[in-house]
Amino acid sequence: MSQSIDTHSTASQATASSSRRNWLWFSLQQIVQVVFAVWLRYRARGVDRLPIVGPALLLSNHQSFLDPLLVGLPLHRPVSFLARDSLFRVPVLGWLLRKTYVVPLNREAGATGGLRETIRRMEQGFLVGVFPEGTRSADGRLGEIKPGFAALIRRTATPIYPVGIAGANKALGRPACAWCLASRFPARRSKS
């Protein structure tokens, strides 16, 4: 069964203000700040260089599932990230993504809908977070940059801010995630 994600209705549900966090974003941010400060010894530098109002494109490396949280955590305004549309079909996660300004991206459809919605968000004054690698790095190093993000840059005059994430792959990167899944769902062994 195929399920489509309507980016326009997703946007209208989440878009209250591009410069003010909604209650869910704010609540999660408060909880996650405490957890990350203890668990990861999280710190952010250079946040004062980002605009207080108006659009900006945040380009970041991608090491872990935690990266969108790490980028948005120190900010006092929401960041609208791109995420693959299949994540929106996961019951609780899909609801959270919709309520925290995330834009669904259909990789098979050439991502034109996600690209249009991202440009629309920037026109509304949002901070937009993009991971130009398109997927998490296997080893924490910068991966190959996907051409889709260049199309986004060509279609907007929004200021671009590079964001660097270091160490997240050690907390919950690809190998760690594979280990978590393997330990939860061990392979069945045949009796010989």
97-126: pLDDT as tens digits: 999 898 888 877 666 777 888 889 999 999
As beta bridge partners, residue 161 has: 58
Looking at the predicted structure, is the pLDDT value of residue 64 above 80?
A: no
Provide the strand spans (E) within 2-139: 56-60, 79-84, 103-105, 127-130
33-57: pLDDT as tens digits: 888 888 778 778 888 898 889 999 9
Sign of CA dihedral 21, 126, 60, 107: positive
pLDDT of residue 54: 92
Residue type, 93: L
Sign of CA dihedral 141, 105, 119, 26: negative
Q: What is the mean pLDDT of the chain?
A: 75
pLDDT of residue 111: 62
pLDDT of residue 182: 37
> Which of the residue ranges 56-60, 151-155, 171-175 would you say has the lowest mean pLDDT?
171-175
pLDDT of residue 138: 64
Structure-block tokens of residue 31: 């909880």
Looking at the predicted structure, is the pLDDT value of residue 159 above 90?
A: yes
